[in-house]
């Protein structure tokens, strides 16, 4: 197909123009124009090379004036070498940390001994000290196949950005299914250094990371939190490829999560990036706002735990000193979950999370008197009301998960007395009540808001639907109940005050709402509904008090066990063709794990 009639005329040209004219990238066109050789267009000796050594060497010399030619060669070898047994994602992770943290090279000391020193590859403090190059239509040869990419973005000669484009009439998913997946097979070395994968047809754009399924590619709709947003490619380019944003995302908003024995490369979503950077501004001004960094309200399912990790990571990299982060929860399972997340994402180094968890009130105080990088604790561990206040010579940053629940009572008061100079930020998945003055007094106002409506619009969480189940429990209808209650009151021989009080109680409908037949009917409806559907996930009862919650728990347990018994009996008499499906339902039913809060 002639180049002139491909999608690149409109989509690629407009993307290249924006990168060059607005964002300050050097944009070059390589198709049938690139000259190979050391003195050629990009200095490549062959089309198999994807590291542009000319610019890589120049950056090493500029950023590390102490390096000699031998050390430059050593750094190049370290960046290019890989184990043949490593997966592409393992190689990508190894190269990421070399690029971000520096490449270790050998330095000879005056006494003749040698030591290791890290050579900077990118100047993260001064974006303009780096060379940003976007190459359109770059030929890349693999071991067997030859491909030509739409746009590859280089920083100091390292290919960190991959952009695959389609014309406006083609679904963006085709860029993933038809091109990106093919490139992974045919020219996998292109992705050894990659940070960002962009897919677009101009009017819609998605961004993701190596190893991600298409479903985990996401939009980049906003340059500021309050914007309505646009899914167009130009918004994504402005938000990600602005030089300071590009380096900020690369340095502070990429994680490799090793949970469950698998590695997932995590790039912050648009709302996480914007929200965390608002929190960073608040932290920079912590002395002016009395340590109140604000309330970080991002709705359930929008990645709040990762946002906490991103915030801690950026504070540690961009601010002087050695702060202690106190990660605060109010439940053991939440404490385990968040500490595991920090460990699996590498923020605890090679130390296990258990070493950072406060085991008692005394242990918490001892940890706070030191300077560990992290402390994970329950609010209940602040149980030493007589403990002397701690005034450390380093920053303490309290990150409170589900802050709206934990900032009440004696434990919260003890925390404030013990750590009077600590900076405080509250994370919550639900909005604060207008009457919640305590949370606001502890943390300040909202520092970042990503509410449920916007999360659903962005596809960051699933929508919530209401289904009226009244018809399913119609057997509760009893038109005579009011008459029976009134008759009982009359027969009770109560005085006027007692009768008024009783009628007021019944007016609250508490007794009707918690009547045994009603609760049992609802519990049976719940079991009937979910037993056939259950595979994984969560279902929640919201009860009006703790006693009712316990009763519902018991009723559901009773009826769920009944259904399992019925299913086991049915399997014994089922035909062979039906047995497999029934056994699957049984496995799912038995995997149900009830809990009560």
The percent of the chain in helix, strand and coil, each rounded to the nearest 5, is 45, 15, 35
pLDDT computed for residue 2 by the predictor: 46
Q: State which CATH number among 3.40.50.880, 3.40.50.1980, 3.40.630.10, 3.90.1570.50 fits the domain covering 3-51+90-101+125-252.
A: 3.90.1570.50
pLDDT band for position 517 (cuts 50, 70, 90): confident
Burial class (CB in 10 A: 0-12, 13-18, 19+), 292: buried
CB atoms within 10 A of CB 231: 16
| Model confidence at 482: pLDDT above 60 | no
pLDDT digits (tens, 9 = 90+) for 97-140: 999 999 999 999 888 899 999 999 999 999 999 999 999 999 99
> Is 202's pLDDT higher than 70?
yes
CA 192, 194, 195, 200 dihedral sign is: negative
288 alpha carbon, distance to own chain's centre? 29
Residue 293, phi then psi, degrees to nearest 5? -85, -15
Cβ-proximal residues to 529 (8 Å cutoff; 6+ apart), any chain: 472
Measured CA distances, 208 to 25, 252, 265, 391 (Å): 21, 16, 9, 43
pLDDT tens-digit map of 153-182: 999 999 999 999 999 989 999 999 999 999
The residues spanned by each domain of the chain are: 3-51+90-101+125-252, 269-458, 470-590
Q: Record the tokens describing residue 492, joined without a space.
A: 């009770």
- Does position 477 have pLDDT exceeding 60, yes or no? no
Q: How far apart are CA 465 and CA 525, in angstroms?
A: 18
Cβ contact 61:73 at 8 Å: no
Nearest to 296, CA basis, from 192, 426, 165, 183:
426
State pLDDT tens for residues 309-328: 999 999 999 999 999 999 99
Per the CB < 8 A criterion, the answer to whether 45 and 38 are in contact is yes
Rg (CA), the chain: 30
Out of 3.30.930.10, 3.90.550.10, 3.40.50.300, 2.40.30.20, the CATH code matching 269-458 is: 3.40.50.300
Distance CA 537, CA 530 (A): 11
H or E element, residue 448 = strand 446-450
The per-residue pLDDT for 365 is 95
Report whether 341 contacts 334 (CB < 8 A). Answer: no
Secondary structure class of 476 (helix, strand, coil): helix
């Amino acid at each position: 197909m002639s180049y002139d009639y491909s999608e690149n005329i409109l989509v690629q040209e407009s993307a290249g123009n924006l990168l060059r004219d607005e964002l300050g990238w050097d944009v070059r066109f390589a198709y049938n124009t690139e000259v190979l050789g050391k003195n050629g267009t990009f200095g490549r000796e062959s089309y198999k090379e994807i590291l542009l050594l000319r610019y890589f060497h120049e950056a090493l010399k500029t950023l590390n004036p102490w390096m000699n030619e031998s050390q430059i060669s050593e750094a190049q070898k370290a960046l290019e070498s890989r184990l043949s047994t490593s997966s592409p994602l393992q190689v990508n992770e190894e190269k990421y940390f070399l690029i971000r943290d520096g490449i270790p090279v050998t330095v000879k000391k005056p006494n003749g001994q040698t030591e290791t020193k890290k050579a900077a590859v990118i100047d993260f403090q001064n974006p303009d000290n780096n060379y940003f190059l976007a190459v359109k239509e770059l030929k890349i040869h693999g071991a067997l196949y030859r491909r030509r990419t739409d746009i590859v973005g280089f920083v100091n000669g390292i290919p960190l950005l991959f952009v695959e484009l389609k014309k406006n009439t083609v679904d963006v998913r085709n860029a993933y299914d038809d091109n990106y997946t093919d490139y992974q097979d045919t020219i996998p070395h292109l992705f050894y250094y990659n940070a960002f994968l962009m897919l677009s047809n101009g009017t819609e754009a998605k961004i993701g990371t190596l190893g991600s399924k298409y479903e985990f590619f996401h939009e980049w709709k906003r340059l500021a939190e309050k914007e309505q947003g646009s899914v167009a490619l130009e918004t994504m380019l402005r938000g990600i490829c602005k030089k300071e944003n590009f380096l900020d995302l690369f340095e502070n908003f990429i994680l490799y999560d090793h949970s469950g024995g698998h590695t997932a490369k995590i790039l912050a979503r648009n709302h996480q990036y914007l929200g965390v950077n608002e929190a960073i501004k608040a932290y920079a001004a912590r002395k002016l706002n009395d340590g109140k960094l604000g309330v970080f309200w991002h709705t359930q399912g929008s990645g709040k735990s990762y946002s906490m990790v991103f915030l801690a990571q950026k504070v540690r990299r961009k601010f002087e000193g050695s702060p202690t982060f106190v990660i605060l929860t109010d439940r053991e399972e939440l404490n385990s979950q968040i500490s595991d997340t920090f460990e699996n994402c590498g923020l605890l180094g090679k130390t296990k999370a258990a070493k950072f968890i406060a085991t008692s009130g005394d242990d918490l105080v001892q940890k706070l008197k030191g300077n560990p990088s992290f402390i994970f604790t329950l609010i209940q561990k602040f149980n030493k009301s007589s403990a002397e206040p701690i005034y450390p010579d380093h920053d303490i940053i309290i990150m409170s998960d589900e802050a709206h629940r934990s900032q009440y009572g004696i434990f919260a008061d003890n925390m404030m007395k013990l750590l009077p100079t600590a900076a405080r930020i509250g994370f919550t998945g639900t909005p604060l009540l207008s009457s919640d003055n305590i949370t606001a007094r502890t943390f300040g106002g909202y520092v970042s808001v990503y509410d449920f409506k916007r999360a659903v619009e962005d596809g960051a969480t699933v929508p919530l639907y209401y289904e009226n189940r009244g018809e399913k429990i119609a057997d509760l209808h009893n038109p005579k109940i009011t008459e029976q209650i009134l008759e009982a009151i009359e027969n009770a021989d109560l005085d006027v005050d007692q009768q008024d009080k009783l009628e007021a109680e019944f007016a609250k409908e508490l007794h009707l709402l918690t009547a045994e037949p009603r609760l049992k009917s609802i519990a049976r409806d719940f079991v009937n509904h979910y037993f056939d559907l259950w595979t994984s996930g969560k279902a929640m009862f919201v009860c009006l008090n703790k006693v009712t919650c316990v009763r519902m728990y018991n009723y559901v347990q009773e009826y769920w066990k009944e259904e399992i018994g019925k299913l086991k009996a049915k399997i014994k008499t089922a035909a062979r063709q039906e047995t497999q499906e029934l056994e699957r339902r049984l496995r799912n039913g038995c995997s149900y794990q009830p809990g009560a809060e």
